[in-house]
Amino acid sequence: MRLLLLAPPGAGKGTQGERLAAWSGARHIAAGDLLRAQAHAGGLLGREIAAYQARGDLVPDQIVLDVLTPAVTEAATRGGYILDGFPRTLPQAIAAAELAARLDVTLDAAVYLHAPEAVLTGRLLDRASQSGRSDDRADVIQHRLQVFAETTGLLVPYYTERGILVAVDADQPPDSVTADIQARLSKLSLPRS
């Protein structure tokens, strides 16, 4: 199974990504986690990534592709991937589609998790005290939601036009969201990896 989770901050793509990976046997690849790991590793590149993340700005496409491509390639050769937070821009989507076509592992579905902005903000503020993330602060949360609306949100029509968008209401308890996603994917009769 080869999926992309497309969702604004706070919609639960990390939680759902882990569950879907356990369900399908595909590897969960969380772009934000891989970039945070690189940031913690330090060095020039790490410091640059950390600065973008702390501001809630997108990390430049070339850096993201350099960090993500090896993980996606490895997962693809093992039969499946659940991409969480990548691609997030049109150039990333085009690069990811070219990579997938080259490896003959194109996307089965792009799952779009949506919820009202007030719900997303509330969840992010709730988790802020435990997350330890530099970007879980009220002002940065607002900015991350704006970046989604202005940039990543454009991928919703992009994948709709390609006929693979699956939109799911994320304003429900996590188990219900998981059940909805699984029901929708089961109807597509995708291969399990």
CA-CA distance, 148 to 173, in Å (whole number)?
22
Number of residues that bind ligand ADP (CB under 6 A): 18
- Rounded to 10 degrees, the C-alpha dihedral 2/11/57/141 comes to -170
Quick one: which segment of 49-57, 93-101, 105-113, 169-177 binds ligand ADP (CB under 6 A)? 49-57
Does position 16 bind ligand ADP by CB under 6 A? no
Report, in Å, the least distance between residue 143 CB and ligand ADP: 9
Does position 12 bind ligand ADP by CB under 6 A? no
Contact 169, 180 (CB under 8 A): yes
DSSP 8-state secondary structure symbol assigned to residue 10: T
Residue choice 26, 53, 67, 72 for contact with ligand ADP (CB under 6 A): 53
Quick one: which segment of 51-59, 74-82, 95-103, 154-162 binds ligand ADP (CB under 6 A)? 51-59
Does position 35 bind ligand ADP by CB under 6 A? yes
Question: Of 135 and 180, which CB lies nearer to ligand ADP in the complex structure?
Answer: 135
Does position 31 bind ligand ADP by CB under 6 A? yes
CA-CA distance, 132 to 128, in Å (whole number)?
7
Contact 136, 190 (CB under 8 A): no
Whose CA is closest to 144, among 157, 161, 131? 131
Does position 20 bind ligand ADP by CB under 6 A? no
CA-CA distance, 71 to 84, in Å (whole number)?
12
Which chain residues interact with ligand ADP by CB under 6 A? Answer: 9, 31-32, 35, 52-53, 56-59, 64, 85-88, 92, 135, 144
